[in-house]
Amino acid sequence: MIYYEVIEKKIIDNVYEIKIANFNVKPKAGQYVSLILPSKAEIPLGVGDYDEGNNKLKLYVESEKLANEIGKRVILKGPLGKPLDFTNVRTIVGIAYGKLYHDLLYPLKIAYQNKIVTFAKCIDCKLNYDEPRSIEDADLILVSAPLQLLYGLKVPRKKTLVFNRWVKMNCNLGVCGVCEVKGKLTCIDGPFMRLDDLVD
């Protein structure tokens, strides 16, 4: 078991930003880590950012109770999950609801570094965005929103990937099956999953 040092914890837009030192494996776009606390099961968290030069990992925690449980050292498992594939992708649209925009920050940063044009649209949150003429023009659409909002989302389903954050995950290794959604395991096939695999 490896312990990682928490070097900073602060509140930004009512979300706790946690910085971890000496995380030596660079996550790929779309991957996540599992936070292991003594008092509860594993908690999956999307990667907020990664500073490769200094091996610093940035995570975001929405719950004050959970943030208060994070001390000076934490146990992390990961990176986990299926990385996003940006092959033949020229334009990405990111759509986020409220403070959930932090789920999209790292994938959009990686896309930008790879010279992929990115646009970010925010619903009910503070984020500047530039919108393409038509969402149909995007090669890939990344979404972070509550499950109930996905049913009314007017986007091309086959090229829309949703950060599946509402499913309980236990083992994060595809063994327990708790995170199964319509025959797919979120911890292995996600956390970004096709919209048409999540909603009818």
CA–CA dist 31, 155 (Å, integer): 23
Is 86 part of a structural domain of the chain? no
Same domain, 37 and 127: no
Is 146 part of a structural domain of the chain? yes
CATH of the domain at 55: 2.40.30.10
Candidates 108, 113, 193; CA nearest to 158 is 193
Is 125 part of a structural domain of the chain? yes
Which residue type sits at 3? Y
Backbone angles phi, psi at 155, to 5 degrees: -140, 155
Identify the domain containing residue 145 by its residue range: 91-197
Is 105 part of a structural domain of the chain? yes
Burial of 170 (0-12, 13-18, 19+ CB in 10 A): middle
| Domain limit, last residue, from 51, 80, 109 | 80
Same domain, 95 and 76: no
Same domain, 104 and 27: no
Q: pLDDT per position in the chain (200 positions), as tens?
A: 689 999 999 998 789 999 999 999 999 999 999 998 876 678 899 999 999 999 999 999 988 888 888 889 999 999 999 999 998 888 888 888 888 888 999 998 898 888 776 666 555 454 444 555 567 778 888 999 888 888 887 888 888 999 998 888 888 888 888 888 888 889 898 899 999 888 87
Same domain, 38 and 71: yes
CATH of the domain at 116: 3.40.50
The tokens of 109 are what? Answer: 């940063």
CA–CA dist 180, 189 (Å, integer): 10
Is 55 part of a structural domain of the chain? yes
Is 45 part of a structural domain of the chain? yes
Q: How many CA atoms lie within 13 A of 183 on its CB side?
A: 3
Is 85 part of a structural domain of the chain? no
Same domain, 182 and 141: yes
3-state helix, strand and coil shares in percent for the chain, rounded to the nearest 5: 20, 35, 45
Report the domain count for the chain: 2
Q: pTM value?
A: 0.88
Instruction: State the DSSP code for 169.
Output: -
Rounded to a whole number of angstroms, the CA Rg of the chain reads 16
